[in-house]
Amino acid sequence: MDKITKEKRRPINPQFFDVRKPLPFPEGHFDAAYSHMLFNMRFSLEDLRFIFSETNRVLKQNGFNFFSVRNQNDKSYGRGIEIEKGIYDINGFQIRFFTEEEIRDLTTAEGFEILWIKEEYEEPVTLFLVSSRRL
């Protein structure tokens, strides 16, 4: 390993949090946040608003929030038992599916500007990939 690689090496310190509670970081702590299908869990709309609000709080001004969510074009959407609007129990897994409008409403209501939304098929799911920035 060369000297530059050794100097740039960063340790990974995984930490686990209940995202329905305040995050243990100060305001404006991070440049970016990323979550992959986190919001597809069975969170209430109140929980989702809180999570977005906390993400906004811990991001620096103009910090980025990147995330992915399963959407209404996913082949599993509408299957299983609908337990709440947009949430289906599919073989014991409770999954929330989003429309683009729901993503736009939730994201902008919690202080983010959407930079782009892209639909992507990632075997076996159909996702919205979302890039947003804290205002």
Q: Catalogue the E-assigned strands of 40-134.
A: 59-70, 81-84, 87-90, 93-96, 112-122, 125-134
Cα separation, 54 vs 132, whole angstroms = 15
* Region 109-114 average pLDDT: 96
Measured CA to CA, the distance from residue 91 to residue 81 in angstroms comes to: 9
CA separation for the pair 111, 118 (Å, rounded) = 20
Domain assignment present for residue 10? The answer is no
Q: What is the predicted pLDDT for the residue at 9? A: 72
Which pLDDT belongs to residue 10?
Answer: 67
Residue 71 DSSP one-character state = B
Report if residue 14 sits inside a domain: no
Interatomic CA distance for residues 91 and 108, integer angstroms: 33
Q: Which pTM was predicted?
A: 0.88
Does 13 reside within a domain? no
The 10s digit of each residue's pLDDT in 57-80 is 999 999 999 999 999 999 999 999
pLDDT confidence band for 5 (50 / 70 / 90)? very low
How many folded domains does the chain comprise?
1
